[in-house]
Structure 1
Amino acid sequence: MVMVGGALSMWLVQRISALLLAVYSLFFPVWIALHWPLDFSAWRGLFMPLPIRIMTLLFVAALALHAWVGMRDIFMDYVHSFGLRLALHSAALLWLVVCVIWAGAILWRLP
């Protein structure tokens, strides 16, 4: 299988983001189990350490990138109108960027 240019980079983004998602998905339940039982203040306390905030924001960014590549491929394969495809790409990208910014704002708003 030969991939050139953008196809190879999107393939790498998909694989690297999947790896980050898998690592965090294995780590986070253990982190929760170490702090069990959880009430609201304990749940907030889970995200107080800076490394956890950074890892969580990386998880959200990796999730957005992973979703972007998947949605991009779906739009390219099934939406044949260039204008509609461009509008869908733009809307999806804007939505994902807003979600990452929102997650960052939530993580850094914690006292």
Structure 2
Amino acid sequence: MSRQASGLMAWLMQRATAVYLALFTTYLVLHWLLNAPASHADLVSWVTHPAVAMGLVLFVPVVLAHAWVGMRDVLIDYVHILGLRVGLMLVFGFVFLASGLWALKAIITAGIGG
């Protein structure tokens, strides 16, 4: 991913994902402040609404891409030992991958009622 996400492409990806994250997070905060679910059933009903489900499913890879580009840039700028940098990138990559799979499983499980 570092070849495709370097220089201008990394900058554009970081800005594009930041816009989506800001808009969707604003929607979530406003929804929860103005119309918080009263029960677990209400929460599941809200999450399984097609627009919200698609927003959440899109949110997961967007937040992970945003985090990956940010962490990659920090590691490239501040970790000068190549082996340590590569090792840390692998650790963050595995953590982000596992987190993304877990989040998508949670959304899908809520959607099918399991």
User: TM over 0.5: same fold?
Assistant: yes
TMscore range, shorter length: 0.7 to 0.9
Quote the residue 2:83 is aligned against: 83
CA distance in 1, matches of 2:19, 2:86: 29
RMSD: 1.7
Quote the residue 1:98 is aligned against: 98
SS at match of 1:38: coil
Quote the residue 1:40 is aligned against: 40
Deviation of the 1:35 alpha carbon: 3.8
% identical aligned pairs: 29
Deviation of the 1:32 alpha carbon: 3.1
Residue 17 of structure 2 contacts residue 63 of structure 2 at CA under 8 Å; is this kept in 1? yes
CA distance in 1, matches of 2:36, 2:6: 44
Q: Which amino acid aligns with 2:92?
A: A
Quote the residue 1:30 is aligned against: 30
What whole-Å deviation, never above 9, does each CA across 1:37-67 have from its counterpart, x for those lacking one? Answer: 5222212222011221121121222111111
Question: Which stretches in structure 1 are left out of the alignment for 5+ residues?
Answer: none
CA distance in 2, matches of 1:106, 1:83: 35
Deviation of the 1:94 alpha carbon: 1.4
Deviation of the 1:26 alpha carbon: 1.5
